[in-house]
Amino acid sequence: MAWTRDQMAARAGKELQDGFYVNLGIGIPTLVANHVPPGISVQFHSENGMLGMGPFPFEGEEDPDLINAGKQTVTVLPTTSFFDSATSFAMIRGGHIQISILGALQVAENGDLANWAIPGKMVKGMGGAMDLVAGVPRVVVLMEHTAGGKAKILKKCALPLTGAGVVNLVITDLGVFEVARPGLTLIDIAPEVTLDEIKSKTEADFKVAPELQQRIGA
């Protein structure tokens, strides 16, 4: 059985370590905030100029001056700081944020990532995604394994790139891939999902980690 969105977010949560500064993208990655493992403390960064992002406010306590990069109303924490956009991206480009968890349209076996533009459709812009993947040392992609029945993990991205050779880990509803350079390794698989199913839904070649081979008897 494939993982649910919350189970995918929980799997991504395992990538967090105590003391990390973390940037979460829009969509499924947002759910990772609900799955910080017990006993560890992290600070969430928001590109629009906030570190230490708190939960959504109670109804009636929304403040138009207090939003996240998704333009949603949020709250402050005792650890919160505010800063301008150049400082915000100095944190990102300067490698001060330890991990970026974001969505993708396509990922290639060499770590290329495409998540901002589809030729022929109205392009909305890349926002901060290109800076995040270029500057953050560990980039985790959290996405559905396929889109409309089509593979998203490819030999080569067909869509315009957000970053070249930038992805470190891919978590989908079916499994988890490590991206070494070169090549993908499947390191985890959702319950009752078979290796054959993953192979049929993945265009890129990949190896299977020895520990996982043992576990699934492949």
Partner 1 sequence: MAVSKIYPSAEKALAGLLRDGMTIMSGGFGLCGIPSVLIEAIRASGVKDLTVVSNNAGIDDAGLGILLQTRQIKKMISSYVGENATFAKQYLAGELEIEFNPQGTLAERIRAGGAGVPAFFTRTGAGTDVAKGKEEREFDGKMYVMERGLRADLSIIHAWKADTEGNLVYRMSARNFNPIMAMAGATTVVQVEELVEAGQIDPDHIVTPGIFVQRIVHPEKIDKRIEQRTTRPRA
- Residues that bind partner 1 in the complex, under the rule CB under 8 A: 46-50, 55-59, 61-74, 76, 82-86, 88-89, 92-93, 122-131, 134-135, 160-165
Cβ 123 to partner 1, closest distance in Å?
Answer: 7
Cβ 127 to partner 1, closest distance in Å?
Answer: 4
Strand partners, 118: none
| Other CB atoms within 10 A of residue 1 CB | 10
203 is catalytic: no
Three-state secondary structure call for residue 130: helix
Residue 4 to residue 1: CA distance in whole angstroms: 9
Identity of the residue, 50 or 208, whose beta carbon is nearer to partner 1 in the bound complex: 50
Three-state secondary structure call for residue 93: helix
Cβ 50 to partner 1, closest distance in Å?
Answer: 5
Identity of the residue, 9 or 186, whose beta carbon is nearer to partner 1 in the bound complex: 9
Task: Tell me phi and psi for residue 8, to 5 degrees.
Answer: -60, -45
Catalytic one among 47, 192, 197, 211?
Answer: 47
Tokens describing residue 62: 């929304």
Q: So which residues are the catalytic ones?
A: 47
